Every structure is written in structure tokens, then in C-alpha cells.
Amino acid sequence: MFDLIKTLTQTYGPSGNEKKVAQTIRGLLEGKVDEIRTDAMGNLICVKKGSGKKIMLAAHMDEIGIIVSYIDDKGFIRFGNVGGIPPLIILGQRVVFENGTVGVIWYEESIDNMKNAKLDKMFIDIGAKSREEAEKLVKVGDMGVFVGDTIEQNGRIISKALDDRIGCAVLVQLALSEPETDNEIYYVFTTQEEVGLRGAKTAAFGIVPDMALAIDVCDMGDIPGCKPMAVKLGEGPTIKIKDRSVIAHPEVKDALIMAATENKIPYQMEVMLEGGTDAGSIHITAGGIPSGGVSIPTRFIHDAAEMVDMKDVENAIKLLAEFVKA
């Protein structure tokens, strides 16, 4: 499981450029499901055929990153954000582009004046000495992602892009375990979630499932000085009640709770005050789709070093396996 997580998190895939992640997942699931297709938005849709309900499980492939907007005469790169990037924590971070070019993010003013730390005062240095030299490696419109290796320590994973490759890993593992059910399962790996839940919308339109879950990360409330939230790492995957984009359908939520309690799988209730998930665009697609979510409690979301607990990941897979049988 760790190797799967490592492979998925270390694959390049900012919003709109998810192809490599899709290829990796396609390689893992080919032959294990009945059909694999992509749509115009780049969503990867893997179908396990069945005669029962159509259940859609969605995890987004894209990760946050930066986009090159300008390269100056000296080869310094100006950039904008792809998805939500907290300006303070990206200073000094490394970014890597699709072709492997690495750059460092720095800031125009002195480091003690952080109040005005805005992205348009920052730049990326790729070690180029001129515009010409820089343009050989990076062009306007190219996207970069943060560098952050994947390690396991004390039963926890630290890595970049756990949002939401951990969701992708959960779905891949679930599909490989081939849960026994008559239901038709759609393992959907979506695009462009970080810029507005876009891919899930067209994926859901093409499927029109009876029920859908977003498998994503959620905030927690167990680090010093954070906002109160009744979610802790290691106490089980969460069953979504609401986030900023969706209120979970009561039947979906109840079915998840029943699957967890009947099978003695630990779980927590999730009320996430900030951030949305693919469920937000799925539930208002077509004539409306009952939707909910199962999330992995995650620390330091959108940092280059996010953290999850392996027990939560394993229990999420167990919970979903029971859910799709119902």
C-alpha cells in the first residue's frame, strides 16, 4: 500500500495536466475492471459492471501547483496559483515542472516584511542566467508542482499531494480487492477539482449514478492552536455530513454509518467548515444525485508535506468495500 501511495503522490499532475496520473492508474487497473474510458475533461472512468445500483466513487487526480505567467530578461519566472496556495508556506519551497526542471520560490522584499507576501512579489529561480536559457526549460503557461518526498514513519505518511492521491490510492486498492457485489461500480478519477470541482461535473453527467461518494482529504482538529474540529488522525476515516460545497444526502450518510457500525469499522463524523469536494458538483448534476463523502483526516493540507495515518487509509478501504455491497 505504501508503494502505491508513493507512486501516486510522486506522479506529476497539477490541475488540467493530469495525464500522467491517469496513465499510472490505468496501468494499475487494466484487466481488473470491465471498462476504462476517458472523457473530454480527462476524467478516467473505470467501470466494474453489475446489475444492481450504479455507484460512483470519485477521487481527484489533480494537485495544487503554480503556473508560469512571465519570464524576465534575467531568467526569473513570475507565476500564479493553480488551486489554493497559502503564500506564506510556499517561500523557499522547491517546485518541479513536467520535464523535471526544478526551481526555488523566493520573494522580492526582506523576509521580515511578510505582511505583504503576495504571489506577485514572488518569483521562481531555475538557475537560468537569461530569458533564453530559461525558455529552453520552461515556457509561459507551464505548470509546476511542489517537491516533497513520500515517507512512512510511526504508522503515518508524510508526502506532497496526499490531497488527493490518497483518495486515488484508496480507490485503486478497493478496485484491486474486487469487492463482491451486484452493484455497478464506477471508480472515477477526476480532473480539475482544485480549481472548482470541474471534472467531476462532466464525469457524473456521463454516468448519472444512483449514488455517489467523493473520496478526499479533510481537515482535522488535533494539532496545537488549530481551529476546533471533531476529527483526529488515526481515529478512523470520516463520514461527511457537510463541507462548503455539499450537504451529504441523509440516505448516503446513513448507509455509510450502518456499514461502519455493523462491521465494527472506526469512523468519525465530518463537518468541514472550509473547502469543498467533488461531491459538491456531482450532487447537482443532471436531475440531482444523492451524494456524500468518505475522507481521510489530513494535516497540513496544501503544504508540500501533508500527513495522514495509515490506519485511517486502511479503514477507509474496508468501509467502502462494505458500502458498495449494500
Partner 1 sequence: MMEVLELLKKLTTLDGVSGEEKPVRDFILSHIKDYVDDYKIDNMGNLIAFKKGTGNSGLRIMLDAHMDEVGLMVTHINSDGLLKFQTIGGIEARVLVGKRVRVGEKGIPGVIGFKPIHLQESSERNGSVNKKKLTIDIGAKDREQAEEKVSVGDYVTFAYDPVDFGDNKLMAKALDNRVGCAALMELLKGRYEWDVYGCFTVQEEVGLKGAKTASYQVMPHMALILEGTTCYDVPDTQEQGMSTRCGKGPALTVMDRSVITDRDLVRFIASTAEQHNIPYQYKQTISGGTNAGRIQVNGTGVKVAVMAVPCRYIHTPVSVMDKSDFNHMITLARKVLETLPKSDAAKRCDQLVQPPAISLFADKGGKTYV
Give the residue, chosen from 50, 52, 87, 206, that forms a contact with partner 1 under the rule CB under 8 A.
Answer: 206
Residue 80 interacting with partner 1 (CB under 8 A): yes
Cβ at position 197, least distance to partner 1 in Å = 9
- Which one of the spans 39-47, 222-230, 251-259, 263-271 is the region binding partner 1 (CB under 8 A)? 39-47
Distance CA 266, CA 143 (A): 39
> Residues of 103-129 as b/e, b for ≥16 C-beta within 10 angstroms?
bebebeeeeeeeeebebeebbbebebe
Amino acid code (one letter) for 47: V
DSSP, res 116: G
Instruction: Examine residue 247 and tell whether it contacts partner 1 (CB under 8 A).
Output: no
3-state SS record for 215-244? EEEECCCCCCCCCCCCCCCCCCCEEEEECC
Rule CB under 8 A: say whether 40 interacts with partner 1: yes
Q: Which of 7, 9, 11, 43 lies at the binding interface for partner 1 (CB under 8 A)?
A: 43
Cβ pair 114, 67 in contact under 8 A: no
Q: Least Å distance between CB 118 and partner 1? A: 12
Q: Verify whether residue 63 is a known catalytic residue.
A: no
Question: Which of 258, 286 has the CB closer to partner 1?
Answer: 286
Q: Considering the rule CB under 8 A, would residue 49 count as an interface residue with partner 1?
A: no
| Cβ 217 to partner 1 shortest distance, Å | 21
Counting contacts by CB under 8 A, is residue 104 touching partner 1? no
> DSSP secondary structure string, 69-105?
EEE-TTS-EEEEEES---HHHHTT-EEEETTS-EEEE
* 141 touches partner 1 (CB under 8 A): yes
Torsion of CA 68, 73, 75, 77, to 10 degrees: -20
Q: How would you list the strands of the sheet with 156-159, edge to edge?
A: 151-153, 156-159, 306-309
* Interaction of residue 41 with partner 1, rule CB under 8 A: yes
d(CA 182, CA 184): 7
78 binds partner 1 (CB under 8 A): yes
- Residues 1, 36, 53, 81: which binds partner 1 (CB under 8 A)? 81
- Choose the binding region for partner 1 from 68-76, 99-107, 156-164, 314-322 (rule: CB under 8 A): 68-76
Span of 36-44, 170-178, 180-188, 238-246 interacting with partner 1 by CB under 8 A: 36-44
Q: Are 200 and 286 in contact (CB under 8 A)?
A: no
| Closest to 200 in 3D by CA, of 63, 57, 82 | 57
| Total of residues contacting partner 1 (CB under 8 A) | 30
C-alpha angle with apex 52: 241 to 1, nearest 5 degrees?
Answer: 60
Determine the Cα–Cα distance for residues 36 and 29; give it in Å rounded to an integer: 9
Q: Whole-angstrom Cα distance, residue 225 to residue 29?
A: 42
Among 23, 35, 37, 177, binds partner 1 (CB under 8 A): 37
69 binds partner 1 (CB under 8 A): yes
Active-site choice (193, 235, 270, 306): 193
Q: For binding to partner 1 (CB under 8 A), which residues are involved?
A: 15-17, 37-41, 43, 67, 69-70, 72, 78, 80-82, 120, 140-141, 192, 195, 198-199, 201-203, 205-206, 281
* Residues recognised as catalytic: 193
